[in-house]
């Protein structure tokens, strides 16, 4: 992925610490990252932060990364928005396929079920994988 493309990232309290590590990892790698919250480990409602990223992605302003405890809540939230294709990924293969076959524009991670190293691998794989198009585009068109 072109490193100038904006990456919007947000989490709830359960994903706050991993979010900070991913922001540093991406910033150190030269990516353009915007933190959309939350700002501490104090309890917050995940839909508020999922919405912020999903609206930016739906408007075509960039791609997104959402993090909560399991990733399930953020995934449900993001996929309520038109033009958002959020994929909850637990390993590099899922990240690769979510991009190659589904053109996912939001990556969702579960901070309480992934280690830091695996999370970095998932993010890096997702960002470096391109959509194949072709028969996969036909299937995405069917979702409209």
Supply the residues annotated as catalytic. Answer: 101
Phi and psi at 110, nearest 5°, equal: -105, 110
Nearest to 109 by CA among 85, 134, 73: 73
Query: Hey, which residues does 67 pair with through a beta bridge?
Result: 11, 109
- β-pairing, 6-11 vs 32-35, is parallel
Going by the DSSP 8-state scheme, the letter that residue 55 receives in this structure is H
């Amino acid at each position: 992925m072109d490193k100038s493309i904006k990456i919007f990232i947000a989490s709830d309290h359960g994903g706050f610490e991993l979010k900070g590590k991913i922001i540093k990892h991406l910033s150190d790698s030269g990516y353009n990252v915007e933190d959309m919250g939350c700002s501490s480990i104090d309890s917050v409602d995940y839909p508020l932060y999922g919405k912020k990223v999903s609206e930016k992605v739906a408007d075509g302003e960039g791609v997104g990364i959402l993090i909560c405890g399991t990733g399930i809540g953020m995934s449900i939230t993001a996929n309520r928005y038109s033009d958002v294709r959020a994929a909850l990924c637990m390993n590099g293969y899922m990240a690769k396929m979510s991009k190659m076959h589904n053109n996912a524009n939001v990556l969702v991670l579960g901070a309480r079920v992934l280690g830091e190293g695996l999370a970095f691998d998932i993010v890096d794989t997702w960002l470096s994988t391109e959509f194949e198009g072709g028969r996969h585009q036909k299937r995405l068109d069917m979702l409209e």
